[in-house]
Chain A
Amino acid sequence: MSFAWAKPYEPKSAFGRWIDARLPLPRLVYGAVGGGYPVPRNLNYWWNFGVLAGVFLTIQIVTGIVLAMWYYSSVDGAFNSVEHIMRDVNAGWALRYIHMNGASFFFIVTYIHIFRGIYYGSYKAPRELVWMLGLVIYLLMMATAFMGYVLPWGQMSYWGAQVITGFFSAFPLVGEPLRIWLLGGYAPDQATLTRFFSLHYLLPFVIAGVVILHIWALHIPGSSNPTGVDIKEERDTLPFHPFYTAKDGWFGAAVLLVFALFTYFAPNFLGHPDNYIPANPLATPAEIVPEWYFWPFYAILRAFTVDFILPAKLWGVLAMFASILLLFFLPWLDNSAVRSGSYRPLFKRFFWILVVNLILLGWAGGRAATPVVIAVSQLATAYYFAHFLIILPLISKFERPLPLPDSISTSALHGERSETAPAGITRPSATTATPAE
Chain B
Amino acid sequence: MLRFILGLVGLGFVGVLLISFFVTTADYFSNPPEPTAEEEFHHHAKELHLASDGPFGQFDEKQLQRGFQVYKEVCAACHGLSLVAFRDLEALGYNEAEVKAIADQWAIQVPTTNEETGETATRKALPADRFPSPYPNEIAARAANNNAFPPDLSLITKARHGGAAYIYSLLTGYEKQQSAELVRKFPAAKTPQGLYYNPYFPNLNLAMPPPITTNGQVTYAPGNPPPTVDQIAKDVTAFLVWTAEPKLENRHRAGLAVAIFLLIATIIAYLAYRNIWATHKAKVRVTGPLEPQNIAKSQIAKDQEGVAG
Contacts and interface: CB of A to CB of B under 8 A. Distances in A.
B251 A267 contact: yes
Given A385-B10, A403-B296, A428 B279 contact: yes
Interface stretch (B174-182, B191-199, B254-262): B254-262
Interface residues of A, number: 87
A315 B6 contact: no
A436 B97 CA distance: 70
B16 interface: yes
B21 A382 contact: yes
Contacts of A415: 298
Given A276-B155, A304-B20, A250 B273 contact: yes
A178 interface: no
A273 B161 contact: yes
Contact of B295 (A382, A388, A403): A403
Nearest to B23: A306
Contacts of B250: 93
Chain B CB within 10 Å, residue with most, of A226, A250, A263, A315: A250
Nearest to A323: B13
Interface residues on B, range: 35 or more
A253 B295 contact: no
A93 B9 contact: no
User: For the complex, would chain A's binding face be called helix, strand, loop or mixed by DSSP majority?
Assistant: helix
Given A93-B251, A411-B295, A382 B83 contact: no
Nearest to A386: B14
A420 B284 CA distance: 10
A402 B14 contact: no
B123 interface: no
Chain A CB within 10 Å, residue with most, of B16, B244, B256, B295: B16
Contact of A264 (B254, B275, B283): B254
B17 interface: yes
Contacts of B27: 371
Interface in A381-410: 381-382, 385-386, 388-390, 393, 402-405
A265 interface: yes
Nearest to A416: B283
Contacts of A426: 279-280
Given A83-B83, A246-B272, A93 B14 contact: no
B18 interface: yes
A355 to B, nearest CB: 19
A419 B24 contact: no
B230 interface: no
B287 to A, nearest CB: 8
A307 B111 CA distance: 56
A374 interface: yes
B20 A306 contact: yes
B13 A319 contact: yes
Contacts of A227: 290
Nearest to B13: A385
B286 A87 contact: no
A385 B10 CA distance: 6
B26 to A, nearest CB: 11
A378 B159 contact: no
Contacts of B7: 389-390, 393
B290 to A, nearest CB: 5
Contacts of B262: 253, 256-257, 260
Contact of B247 (A44, A93, A423, A427): A93
Nearest to A45: B286
B259 A257 contact: yes
Contacts of B77: none
Given A264-B254, A322-B9, A393 B286 contact: no
Given A249-B272, A305-B24, A263 B10 contact: no
A260 B255 contact: yes
15 contacts: A41-B280, A227-B290, A250-B272, A253-B265, A257-B266, A277-B155, A315-B16, A322-B9, A378-B17, A378-B18, A386-B14, A412-B285, A413-B284, A426-B279, A431-B282
Given A243-B280, A375-B21, A405-B290, 12 more contacts: A238-B280, A254-B270, A257-B266, A260-B258, A273-B160, A306-B20, A308-B16, A326-B9, A342-B292, A411-B295, A415-B298, A431-B282
